[in-house]
Amino acid sequence: MTGSKYVRAAAAAAILAAAMAVSGCETNETLGRSQLILFDESTLEQGALSAWQEQLKTAKISRDPVLNARIQKVGGRIVTAAGMGGRQWEYVLFDDPQPNAFVIPGNKVGVNTGLFKVVKNDDQLAAVLGHETGHVIARHAAERASQQAAAGVALDVATHATSGKVQQVVANYGGLGAQVGILLPYSRKHESEADRIGVDLMVKAGYHASEAVVLWENMMAQNSGAPPEFLSTHPSDKTRINDLKAYIAARGYK
């Protein structure tokens, strides 16, 4: 192992050790695994609400009655299937050509009009909204924020524990190592988990699981010039399609 590789490995090890040292690990029964949770939901919601309100002020919102009605109807069925129908959910349709949707703490869901270039029916819309609801069930926002905080603390420890040229290398490459080696893979794991939860929810809500695969086939036809999967926060469309096919078959869904 070369000197630079050794330093990067040492930095990564320091990041992991610090994350474990400050961890507040909790078990998520839906995921069947423990999570690093350092922030409660109310703390995240306060910051997210400010960003959401700013988004509503600056972004163009679509009042398309048909699309808004579809989002409300499908979203309502999904959250009811998730046992979250008693919570307040806000769905906003943004006039944006990018095929995207997102959820932020506080059950705020944004859907771009461009999503309907790839969403051809309500079953496929259910796959999208099921996925976003899956992120909430999985507490991915809290876990992601906790991972980033732990990685930041660990990098600071690694940088100050070295000196001279070694310190400079850690400062230059430690952040990249954390991003590519830890944070991005965890983000891809989150996306895959949300996909699986979303499929379970859409089936429970009365939609066809196979349409989740069709959705991502539509998305793959739209995508071009995507970064390599190891440098992306999301699995590649092909990986996603294969994983969904395997999960749907294993669960016996149609």
| Rounded CA separation 120/221 (Å) | 13
Please determine, for residue 200, whether its predicted confidence score (pLDDT) is greater than 90: yes
Range of the domain at 79: 3-251
Q: What is the mean pLDDT of the chain?
A: 80
Q: What is the mean pLDDT of residues 80-96?
A: 96
Q: Is the pLDDT higher at 120 or at 170?
A: 120
Please determine, for residue 152, whether its predicted confidence score (pLDDT) is greater than 60: no
Q: What is the mean pLDDT of residues 69-75?
A: 98
> What is the reported pLDDT for 202?
98
Domain count across the chain = 1
Structure confidence by residue, pLDDT tens digits, 4-27: 444 444 444 444 454 444 446 778
This prediction's pTM = 0.75
> What is the reported pLDDT for 229?
59
3-state DSSP of 127-186: HHHHHHHHHHHCCHHHHHHHHHHHHHHHHHHHHHCCCHHHHHHHHHHHHHHHHHHHHHHH
Pick from 16-20, 130-134, 155-159 the range whose average pLDDT is largest.
130-134
> What is the reported pLDDT for 146?
75
State the CB neighbour count (10 A cutoff) for residue 222.
12
Look up 90 and say whether it is catalytic.
Answer: no
Residue of 29, 45, 90, 132 with catalytic role: 132
